[in-house]
Chains A and B, each alone.
Chain A
Amino acid sequence: MKLPDAEALCEQLAAELRPRIGPKSAMVGLYTGGAWLAERLHSTLGLSTPLALMDIAFYRDDYAARGLKHDPKRTKIPFDVNGAELLLVDDVLYSGRTVRAAMNELFDYGRPASIALVVLADRGGRQLPICAQHVGARVQVPAGMRLTLQRADSGKLALALESERAA
């Protein structure tokens, strides 16, 4: 099946986000794919606040069943979350559990004025009442497959399908 072009979706998202960027806007990317996308959007939009990167490993709801993820990255939020208008960026929106975990973690840093969710691809299948405000594309994913974002050495972003078992 043909997947949308991630580079084109990045441009489309940046154009869509530009009108809502204000002095209190700040961006948070979720490791790993969301961080790549956030790096791209953050530089394209020229946000003045530094980019925040989050690993939600310590907030996952499947810790009891699956244990702690190997090598969680260190969350770095280099601005005051209180009162910020946050753009929370992830690559693929699926069950919504990652976003819930991310919001829980964000609120341990402060009380943002607002959070808007930005994703490159929405594959449906929500298990929680969460929706994205800015979606690059809606993508149908065959059962048993995962939709992931990949980054080439050149920095070029691309969507890919892989077997869930391989992950």
Chain B
Amino acid sequence: MQRNPQLNANGELQHLLSIEGLPREILLQILDTAESFAGVTEREVKKVPLLRGKSVFNLFFEPSTRTRTTFEIAAKRLSADVINLNIAVSSATKGESLLDTVANLSAMQADIFVVRHASSGAPFLIARHVKPHEHVVNAGDGRHAHPTQGLLDLYTIRHYKKDFTRLVVGIVGDVLHSRVARSLIHGLTTLGVPEVRVIGPQTLMPLGVEGLGVRVFNDMRAGLKDCDVVVMLRLQNERMRGALLPSAQEFFKHYGLTEDKLAAARNDAIVMHPGPMNRGVEIDSTVADGPHSVILPQVTFGIAVRMAVMSIVAGN
């Protein structure tokens, strides 16, 4: 049997590549550790010495602001040195291969690679080739996975709802192109959420999505009925090819989250969004800025979650 590429011989987390395949104990270890780091981010000196002397390379082959920045803040709060490489405008355009880029950075004494890449599986490829003391954290690969986003979503849900085992969670929108949705679904099912729904037009549903243990709804009101948690996905214009949708306006009419549609969910439902938001496309401003929204706390929690992930992998 092939060993899980994320775990070392002792079954400890060595790389974070996807939530899929991670045992419940490791997911809980990350969430519990993040809970302690959340305390660090609230105090005057927001820094602990764990990764002093270590170098974290942010390798972003795809543009990102929020994820790259929160990884950078997280690494700095762990006292690591952070090097940001915007590869989209660098070596790759000069023809260097992915593994050559990594080998060169490794020669500069890297300890952690945080990788975002448009190709699904790129972080796995890197993880297979790094030295034993080097660690890879996936910051989003193609349509495949975005595990730290999934983890911070899980953290947010636990923060507000405490217990996973009684929840109805609705994930709304462009599930087809969403690595966030895939990571979150795996996390929710692993942690025992009894009902996970995906809600959206059939053209934006991956084939066989039911196989992940979710219920599919094409009607938004029916899908949102009695949800405790509503996760809105960004309409991924840049990943959209061909005529999957008539127009953004048409999408908003049917699947944009308005106060009116949200009324179908439970009174104490929380509304999440991984950002960046397209206001007036997948979410109405009155909801995004309204009392149910926990979209900005998600960003804050993301720092503690990324601190937890980096300090756990670098210690194993």
B45→A108 contact, CB < 8 A:
yes
B209 to chain A, nearest CB (A): 34
A110→B32 contact, CB < 8 A:
no
B50→A58 contact, CB < 8 A:
yes
A58→B40 contact, CB < 8 A:
yes
Q: Which residues of B contact A63 (CB under 8 A)?
A: 50, 315
Interface size on A, as a range, is 20 to 34
Residue of A nearest to B12 (CB): A67
A68→B39 contact, CB < 8 A:
no
Interface residues of B in 276-316 (CB under 8 A from A): 311-312, 315-316
Q: How far is the CA of A105 from the CA of B32 in the complex (A)?
A: 20
Return the contact of B36 from the options A55, A64, A77, A109 (Cβ within 8 A): A55
Residue of B nearest to A66 (CB): B315
Residue of A nearest to B53 (CB): A64
Q: How far is the CA of A59 from the CA of B52 in the complex (A)?
A: 11
Q: Is B49 an interface residue (CB 8 A)?
A: yes
Residue of A nearest to B307 (CB): A58
Question: Residue among A73, A74, A109 with the most chain B CB within 10 A?
Answer: A74
Interface string of A74-92 (1 = CB under 8 A from B): 1111000000000000000
Residue of A nearest to B39 (CB): A74
Q: How far is the CA of A75 from the CA of B312 in the complex (A)?
A: 18
Q: Is B260 an interface residue (CB 8 A)?
A: no
Q: How far is the CA of A105 from the CA of B36 in the complex (A)?
A: 13
Return the contact of B43 from the options A72, A73, A108 (Cβ within 8 A): A108
Return the contact of B49 from the options A68, A76, A104, A110 (Cβ within 8 A): A104
Question: Residue among A58, A67, A104 with the most chain B CB within 10 A?
Answer: A58
Q: Which residues of B contact A104 (CB under 8 A)?
A: 49
| A-B CB contact pairs (8 Å), 7 listed | A58-B36, A63-B50, A68-B311, A70-B32, A74-B36, A108-B43, A108-B45
Q: Which residues of A approach B to under 8 Å, CB–CB?
A: 55, 57-59, 63-64, 66-68, 70-77, 104-105, 108-110
